[in-house]
Amino acid sequence: MTGRTFDQTCGGRSAARLSQEVLPFNDSLTHSICPELQINETDFNALQHLAFGKALAPSDLAAKLGITSAASTALIDRLSARGQVVRKPNPTDRCSVLIHAGPETVELVVAAVRPLFMDSNERLNNTAPEEQQAVMAFREDVLQSIHAGIDSLPPNTPAKRGARS
């Protein structure tokens, strides 16, 4: 280690640095939203995976959350009892089920995070179409890079456990 800061290494306040600064805020977001929604952080993380991703098998949800299948079963039972998720037969495997976020749950999660992005989305909507395309392309590249980095991690590392849906 050279003792240089990220900004010095990247040549100043770079787009990479600004993107990196966003990452720690997911934990802050979770800490502040969970009491409002009256759920714990693991439940909220599960709902985020299901609301913003696709339906998951219980074992896949457990892997994304870094919990055991027994803990996943308890979590799914808890969310199901509150009507936040539903179990449906897996259309490709009649012996298994997929866990889906209910429509009201999707709206609840989206409503909880929407205020955080409204201002920046409004500013983006007020820029020229070519600027919007450049920003969107950059955001997509960052997201793909993060996914590629997560996918390259060995199984069961902390970052891999919370991998994308």
CA distance readout (Å), 86 to 6, 51, 55, 77, 135: 44, 12, 10, 9, 36
pLDDT at 28: 81
DSSP string covering 31-49: HHHHHHHT--HHHHHHHHH
* CATH 3.40.50.1860 describes domain 15-161: no
CA distance readout (Å), 159 to 75, 113, 134, 148, 151: 20, 21, 28, 12, 9
Instruction: Assess whether pLDDT exceeds 50 at residue 164.
Output: no
Every domain of the chain and the residues it spans: 15-161
Q: What angle do CA 35, 63, 158 make, to 5 degrees?
A: 75
Helix, strand, coil tally for the chain in percent (to 5): 65, 10, 25
DSSP string covering 84-106: SEEEEEETTEEEEEEEEE-HHHH
pLDDT, one tens digit per residue, over 84-110 is: 999 999 999 888 999 999 888 888 888
Place 5 in a pLDDT band, splitting at 50, 70 and 90: low
Sign of the CA dihedral running 54, 155, 152, 157:
positive
pLDDT, one tens digit per residue, over 124-163 is: 899 999 999 998 898 888 888 887 887 787 765 554 445 5
Per DSSP, 154 falls in state P
pLDDT, one tens digit per residue, over 12-38 is: 567 777 777 777 777 788 888 888 778
pLDDT, one tens digit per residue, over 26-80 is: 778 888 888 877 889 999 999 989 988 889 999 999 998 999 999 999 999 999 9
Structure token digits, residue 72: 């996943």
